[in-house]
Structure 1
Amino acid sequence: MDGSAAEPGMLVDPQTSKPDEAVAVVPAPAPAPAPAQLSPEELVAKAIAPVKKEFLRPPPIRPSTTQPDDDVSEAKSSSLIKEKKSKRQLKRERRQEMKSALHLCPEVAKSGEVGSCCYGEKCRFSHDLEAFKAQKPADLEGNCPFLEIDEGLCPYGLACRFAGTHKVNGVVAAGSLRNEVNSLNKDVQKLLWKNKMKFPKADATLKLLGLSGKMKILVDNEDNHVAPVNGPVEGNGKDEAAEIGSVNDVNCCSELLEEDKPEDADAAEEIRPVKKAKSYCSDEINNGYAMHEKEDSNSKPDKSISIAIADNVTVETDKSLKVHPCEKKLIDFREKLYLAPLTTVGNLPFRRVCKVLGADVTCGEMAMCTNLLQGQASEWALLRRHSSEDLFGVQICGAYPDTVSRTVELIEQECSVDFIDINMGCPIDIVVNKGAGSALLTKPMRMRSVVQAASGTVDTPITIKVRTGYFEGRNRIDTVIEDIGNWGATAVTIHGRSRQQRYSKLADWGYIYQCTQKAPDSLQVLGNGDVFSYLDWNKHKSDCPKLSACMVARGALIKPWIFTEIKEQRHWDISSAERLDIFKDYVRFGLQHWGSDSKGVETTRHFLLEWLSYTCRYIPVGLLDVIPQGINWRPPSYYGRDDLETLMASDSAADWIRISEMLLGKVPAGFTFSPKHKSNAYDRAENG
C-alpha cells in the first residue's frame, strides 16, 4: 500500500486504472457541508461530526468550466460499467464456467486422483488435473484457514488457494466443518421438495386453535377484485393480501378486520399443502433477501377462541404436544448484549467476530418461512450456527399461522437453537406486500394467531420483533403489549421506529419505555434503535430499569467493538492496525465458512466489501471534538492519523476494494462491486 487514498466519489482502479481491471461503479454521496466556520455544538445540532480542524480535508477545487479531458475521462469511466445481464444469461454463463478447467471436481481436488469421482464422465465438473494446475491462480499469502481446525485437514485439497501450506504435497484428505451445525438433512430436503413432509405438532395445534380449514377467496377492499385462489367462497373476509396502504386506520386495536366464521370441522381434517414458490433471489451470494413469489393464505381464527386458549392440553393426535407457556424452557435476556439479526452482513463469520468482541446473544439472518418449507439450501444456510455461539436464535418471517407453525416445528426438529424469533417489523416492500413483516402490525388478530400457533407447536422459546407501528404517528404496540405474553411469546423486541419511517429520524425510546411499563412481568422487553456507545446503553437501562436489555444493530455494523466498550465501560480509541486485525479475523472466519477455494475467496470478499460500506462511517475517538459519535452524524471529509486510517475513512467503493486486496489478494479481472444496501444515505431511509 502506498498510503494514498482516493478522493471520495472518484471512479478509479485500485491498481493500474486499465479498462479490464477492477473498478468500483458506485459513486459516493456528496460530502457533508464544510464545518470550518461552525462550533462543535453547532455541528452536532446539524448532525455533522465535529472532527478536529487539523484533520479536516480542504474543500475540493472544482473548475468553473468543463475541460475536454474531463469529457474523455467520463466517457472512459462509463465504458467500464457493465451491462446488466438477465437471469437466464447469468445461469447459462455459470453452467459454461463450471465446465472449464478451473472448476475441478471436488472429489478429484481432495484426493488428487482422477478416478476418485463416482460420477466419472457424467460429472459436471472438470477432471483435467494438469489443465487445472496450469490455470489455477497463484496461492494467497498466509496459511490455510483449516490448519487450525480438523487436525489440519483441508476439505478443498488442490483447489484451496493456500494449497502450498498443506502438509502432504498440497493434497490432503477431506475435512469437514465440525464447528458448524444446523445443516439441512438431505432426506428431509427431498421430502420438502416433494411436499411430503409431515407436521403432526403444527397440524394438531392449528386444529386446536380452530385455524385449520379450506382456503377462502380474498376480496380486495378497494375494487372488490377477486384473487385467484382455490376453494369455495365462504364468509365475508376482508382483503388479507391487498396493498397495506389501503388500510384506513390501524391505530386502534378495536378497529380490527372482520373475522370469518369458523369452518365446518368435518369439512377439513387436513391443512392445505404448502405450495411451491419461486424465489426472487437469483444470486446465491445475496441470499439474505431470498423471497417468495406467492404465499399461502389461511383461514382465520374463530373470535370465540380465547387468548388464553393455550392451556395445559394434551392433544390426542400427538401426546407430546404441550401448549402451555409455563412448560417452555426459559431464556433470560436480562443485561445481555444482544447482536440483532442483520440482513446480508449479519452472517456467521460476522457473528463470530462479534462473539470475540463481547456479544452474548446472537441471532441468524431473517429467513422466509415459505423458502425454508421448500428446502431451499440458500435459505437454510441462514440458520447455520457456530460452536462459539452459546446463546443463539434464528429469525423467521411468515404471514400466516400454518406456515409459521410448520416452520418452527421443522426448525426444532432439524436444528439446534435456543430460541426462535418471528419478525413482525421488516419494512421491505416485497415482504410487506405478501402480508408478512410490518404488515402484521395492521392485523393484531393475525399476529395473535401466528404467535399462538408457533408457541403452541414447539417447546423452544418464541420471541417476536416489532416496530412501533405501521404508519408514522400511529403507534400501536402499546395496545397489545399486555397480551403478547399471553399469546405465548417469551420476549418482544421493539424497534423504536415505524414501518413508514424506516431508518429516518432517531428511534423513539420514550415510546419503548412506555410499552415496557405496560408489559407484564412475565414478558421480557428489549429495546432497539441507535445504540452506538456504552453511554447509550447506560442511559436506556437507567431511564427504564424494567427494560431487559438493548439490541445492537447498525452500531455493531459500524463498530463491532461496541460490545467491548459496553462491557468495559469506556470509549475505545481503536487504532487502524487493531481494526485491520478485526478484518483479518473476519476473513479467516469467512474462508472457513464459505471455503478456501477461488469461489470461497470471492464470496468472502463480497461480504467483506458489504461490511466495509458500513465501517467507513466510523470516526476515531481521537479525531472528535465531542464524544461519543452519534449514529446519525454525517462525517466530513477528513484525514486519519495514518495512511491506513485515512483509507478506512473513505466512502469510495474503490478504496474498499483496496482494503480487500490487502487481505484476500488481487481481485479478478473485470471485478465490480455495488453495495446491496445504500448504507451511506443519512437523510433517506434506504436500508431495509
Structure 2
Amino acid sequence: MAELTAEHGDLPALETAGDAPASNENGAHRTPEELVAKAIAPVKSEFLRPPPVRPCSSGHTEATPEAKASAPQSGLVKEKKSKRQLKRERQQEKKSALNLCPEIAKTGDISSCRYNDKCRFSHDLEAFNAQKPAELEGECPFLGAEEPCPFGLACRFSGTHKVVASASTPNSHKKSFEMNSLKKDVQKLLWKNKMRLPKSEACLKSLGLMVHNKSVKKILEEVESKEPASKDCSVANGNDCKDGVPSELTNLDHPWEVAEGNSAAAINVTVADELRPLKKQKNILEEENSIGNADDGTDILQRDSKESYTLNEQKASTDNMMIENDDGSLKLNPREKKLIDLRDKLYLAPLTTVGNLPFRRLCKSLGADVTCGEMAMGTNLLQGQASEWALLRRHSSEDIFGVQICGAYPDTVARTVELIGQECTVDFIDINMGCPIDLVVNKGAGSALLTKPMRIKAIIEAASGTVETPITVKVRTGYFEGKNRIDSLIADIGYWGSSAVTIHGRSRQQRYSKLADWDYIYQCAARAPDSLQVLGNGDIFSYVDWNKRKSDCPSLSTCMIARGALIKPWLFTEIKEQRHWDIASGERLNILKDYVRFGLEHWGSDRKGVETTRHFLLEWLSYTYRYVPVGLLEVVPQQLNWRLPSYYGRDDLETLMASDSAADWVRISEMLLGKVPDGFTFAPKHKSNAYDRAENG
C-alpha cells in the first residue's frame, strides 16, 4: 500500500540503515559538511560500522557472506493473507479453549455465564488452564484500580492479583479513565439507519445542500469535472466564477437547474449538492419585520417597537442570522460559537496506525499540549462501525483533544459532526482535506477536495453551522505540485466557519517527498484574517526547527508535529526545555515501558490485549530506529530527511534500537511483553524507511 518516496528533491527513495555510504568513491571519508549536503547523517567515525569487503575476479569489491549475514534485514517478513484465510483463522480461534468466556474469566465460576450452552466462548476451564500462555513478568496494569482486573483468569499477570496494593501506593486509575466509547443502543440505531440528526438536517436545508437523490451528486460531479483542476474557483480568481460559482452554473433560469453540456435541456432537481440557493431562506427577524435600505448601503431592520438594527452588507448571509432549527432551537452565530486557542501550543498531529490512544497518552506525559485522534471516515462512523469509533476514544489526560474526520460531501460531514457532538466529548473537530491515500482520494475525500473549492465551502459551512464545537481544517498546498491554491482560499476559510486551518507544506502529488514549503505556509498565514488561526506542518524535528518557523512568521499560530514525534516523542520535552536531549538507551527503554503499560490498560492484559499491544509497539519501532543519538552526531540537530549509515551505539541496547531489522524489533518487544507466540511474523504497515503515509495529510 505504501510507496517509496524521497524526502530530498534530488535523492532517490530513502534508504535503510546501512545503505547510506559514509565514504566517497575513492574510499576517503567524507566531511560532515559533504554528508549533510548529500542528506546523510554525519555519524562520528568511531561509531561507524565498516562493511567488510573482498575483491572479486573483475577487480570490483563485494560484501563478504559474513557482512551480508550481519547486515540489517528488511522489515518485510510475512506474506499478505487472503480474506478467506483470515476468516478461517478467526473461526479456528473462536473454537479454541483459549477463547474463554469473559464472565467465567472474571469470576472463575462456570455457572456465571447467563448464555450457558449458547455462549460463543469456551466454558472449559481445565482446557484453558492447560493451554494458557506463561505469565509475564511484572504487575497487572489494573492492580491499583478500585475494581478487580476485568480479565481475571485470562490476564497474563493473574499471579499478581492476590497482591494487595499498600495504602501508600498511589491509585492512578481513580483519575485515569477513557471516554467517547460507542454505546450499544446508539450502534443499533446507526445499524438500522434510524439515528435522528435534526440539527444537521436543518443546517443542510438552510444551505440548500439536502441531497436525497444520488443522481444529483453524479450530475454535479460531471459539471465539476469539466472545470480544469488547476484553476481556482473562488472569489479571488473571478473571471470564470461569480461569487465562487462556475459561470456555467450561474446562467441558469432556476437555481436548481443543472445544465449538461451546451444543450438546452436541463435537469430540474429539488436540491443541490455544491451550490447554495440564490434565494436565502428567510430568518425569524425577516419574517416579522420589514427591511429598508439606508443611504449608506446598509440594511436596516425596523421592528414594531421602532428599534433599528444595522447589518454589514457583505455579512448579510445565513451565518449572521439567527436561523431556527427544526427542533425549535436557534443556531448560533459563528461569533458566538465556542473558541479553541491553539496559539503557541505543542500540537501532536493525527497519525495513521501509530497515533493511537496509548501513544497520545505517552506524548502528553512528554509535553504535548494538544492531541488529535486518528482520521476516521464519516461514512463508517454513521454506519456504527466499532473499529472506526475506537479512533474517537479519549483519555482523561488529554485536556485539549480533537477528532479528525474525513468525508467527501457536506451532508456526510454535517451528520458526522452532529453525531460526534451528541455522543463524544471533544474540544474541536478537524476535517481532513489533505489525505493523499488513493483509497480516500478516489472517493472524492481528502486531497481530492483541493480541486473542488465550492465543495470545501459547502462542507465547512455545513459542519460549522451544525455544532457549537469549533471546526478546524487540515489541507495541503494543493493537489498538483507547482499549482498551489490554498493562498486564494485562506481568507474565505475563516469566513465559511473554520476556527483554524493547518497547512501541510506539500502537495498531494508530492505525498511526503521533498522538504515542506514553509515559504508558502508563511505566505498563506500573512493573508489569513486575524480571526483564523494558521498552523504549519512539515519537517519539525528539533527545538531549532520549531523556533525558526515561529520566528520567521509571527502570524503563524503554532506548528503541528507529526513524524518527528513518531521518531522521538521526547521532541515535545526538547522544545519546552529548549535543549537537545542526548537521551540514553535506558531512558528510551523506560519510554517504551510506559507505552506498553498504557497499551495494556487500553487494549487489555489478556492474551489478545498483549498481542495487540505488541503489534502497535512494533509498528512504532519501525519509526524509532530512525533516531540517531545526539552524542553520535558530528552535526546537531538531526534533520528529518537524513539517511542513516550503519553504526554502532554506545551500548548493546542502543545498537539494537538502531537496527532496521524487524527481527530486532521483535527482540525489543520480547524484553517488554515476553516471548512471541509460535509462528509469529510481523511486517510494518507503513514503509517507514521512506516515511511514506505516516500521517494523514
State the Cα distance separating 1:240 from its structure 2 match. 7.4
1:146-165 pair list within 5 angstroms: 146-148=142-144, 150-151=145-146, 153-165=148-160
Q: Give the CA deviation at 1:68.
A: 14
Q: 1:316 to 1:670 in 2, by over 3 A?
A: closer
**Structure 1 SS opposite 2:408:** coil
- Which residue in the other structure is 2:513 paired with? 504
* Paired amino acid for 1:237: L
Matched, 1:129 2:110: no
Tell me the SS of whatever aligns to 1:343: coil
State the match for 2:309 in structure 1: none
Contact 1:496 1:507 (8 Å CA) reproduced:
yes
Give the 3 Å change call, closer, same or farther, for CA 654–321 of structure 1 in structure 2: farther
Q: Structure 1: which amino acid aligns with 2:158? A: A
**What stretches of structure 1 of length at least 5 have no aligned partner?**
1-26, 170-174, 220-226, 228-235, 272-296
Q: Partners of 2:114 and 2:664 in 1: how far apart? A: 45
Tell me the TM-score normalised to structure 1 length: 0.83
Cα distance change on mapping 1:54 and 1:373 into 2, 3 Å: same
Match of 2:205 in 1: 207
User: Which position in structure 2 is the counterpart of 1:14?
Assistant: none
- State whether residues 52 and 63 of structure 2, in contact with CA within 8 Å, keep that contact through their aligned partners in structure 1: no
SS at match of 1:42: helix
Which runs of 5 or more structure 2 residues have no equivalent in the other structure? Answer: 1-14, 165-172, 258-267, 281-313
| CA deviation string 1:119-150 (max 9, x = no partner) | 110111100011100110110000001113x2
Give the equivalent residue in structure 1 for 2:222.
239
User: Against the structure 1 CA distance between its residues 178 and 53, is the aligned structure 2 distance closer, same or farther, given a 3 Å change threshold?
Assistant: closer
Query: Residue 366 of structure 1: SS of its match in structure 2?
Result: strand
CA-to-aligned-CA distance 1:570-600 (integer Å, 9 cap, x gap):
0000000000000000000000000000100
Aligned residue identity for 1:249? S
Counterparts in 2 of 1:300 and 1:385: CA distance versus 1, 3 Å: same
Which of 156, 161, 165 aligns to 1:166? It is 161
Instruction: Give the Å deviation of 1:91.
Output: 1.2
Partners of 1:247 and 1:89 in 2: how far apart?
A: 45
Q: Distance in 2 between matches of 1:122 and 1:353?
A: 41
Amino acid across the alignment from 2:155:
C
Alpha carbons of structure 1 residues 82 and 357: separation in structure 2 relative to 1, 3 Å = closer
Change in CA separation of 1:89 and 1:186 when aligned onto 2, cut-off 3 Å: same
Shift in alpha-carbon separation, 1:316–1:686, aligned structure 2, 3 A: closer
What residue in structure 1 maps to residue 607 of structure 2? 598
Cα deviation for residue 321 of structure 1 reads 4.1
Cα distance in 1, alignment partners of residues 53 and 614 from structure 2? 34
Matched, 1:352 2:399: no
Summarize deviations over 1:102-126 as a string: whole Å, max 9, x none. 1100010001000111111011110
| Matched-pair contact (CA < 8 Å) for 2:373–2:402 | yes
Q: Within the alignment, does 1:400 sit opposite 2:375 as a pair? A: no
Cα 1:385–1:81, aligned 2, differ >3 Å: closer, same or farther? closer
Q: What is aligned with 1:183?
A: 181
The 5 Å alignment of 1:243-642 reads 247-250=228-231, 253=234, 254=237, 259=249, 262-263=255-256, 298=273, 300-302=275-277, 308-642=317-651
In the other structure, the counterpart of 1:32 is 20
User: Contact (CA 8 Å) 1:490, 1:524: kept in 2 or not?
Assistant: yes
**Cα distance in 1, alignment partners of residues 65 and 563 from structure 2:** 41
Q: Is the 8 A contact 2:429 2:469 kept in 1?
A: yes
Cα distance, 1:342–1:63 mapped onto 2, change above 3 Å: farther
What amino acid sits opposite 1:32 in the alignment?
A
The one-letter code of the counterpart of 1:121 is D
Q: Check the 8 A contact 1:503/1:687 in 2, yes or no.
A: no
Please tell me the residue identity of whatever aligns with 2:142: F
* 1:170-190 CA-partner distances (Å, limit 9, x unpaired): xxxxx9996000001111100
Question: Structure 2 vs 1, CA of residues 54 and 29 (structure 1 numbering), >3 Å: closer, same or farther?
Answer: closer
After superposition, give the CA deviation of every residue in 1:248-268 in whole Å (9 maximum; x if it has no partner).
Answer: 52456445755586449xx99
| Greater Cα radius of gyration, structure 1 or 2 | 2
1:664 and 2:667 correspond: no
Q: Give the whole-Å Cα distance in 2 for the aligned partners of 1:105 and 1:665.
A: 24
**What residue is the counterpart of 1:108 in the other structure?**
104
Asked if structure 2 preserves the Cα contact closer than 8 Å seen for 1:516 and 1:525, the reply is yes
Contact 1:237 1:259 in 2 (8 A): no
Q: CA deviation at 1:59?
A: 1.7
Q: Distance in 1 between matches of 2:429 and 2:562?
A: 18
What are the superposed Cα offsets for residues 7-63 of structure 1, whole Å, 9 maximum, x if unpaired? xxxxxxxxxxxxxxxxxxxx9676112346211011101100000000000024368
Shift, 1:215, TM fit: 2.5
Report matched runs for 1:7-86 at 5 Å. 31-35=19-23, 37-61=29-53, 64=56, 84-86=80-82
TM-score, reference length from structure 2:
0.82
Report the CA distance between 1:239 and its aligned residue. 2.5
Read off the aligned partner of 1:189 and give its amino acid letter. Q
What SS class does the counterpart of residue 472 from structure 2 fall into? Answer: strand
| Contact 1:401–1:454 under 8 Å retained in 2 | yes
1:108–1:127 Cα contact (<8 Å) kept: yes
Q: In the aligned structure 2, how far is the partner of 1:526 from the partner of 1:687? A: 16
Q: Distance in 2 between matches of 1:430 and 1:616?
A: 29
Cross-structure match for 2:683:
674
Distance 1:218 1:649 in 2: 55
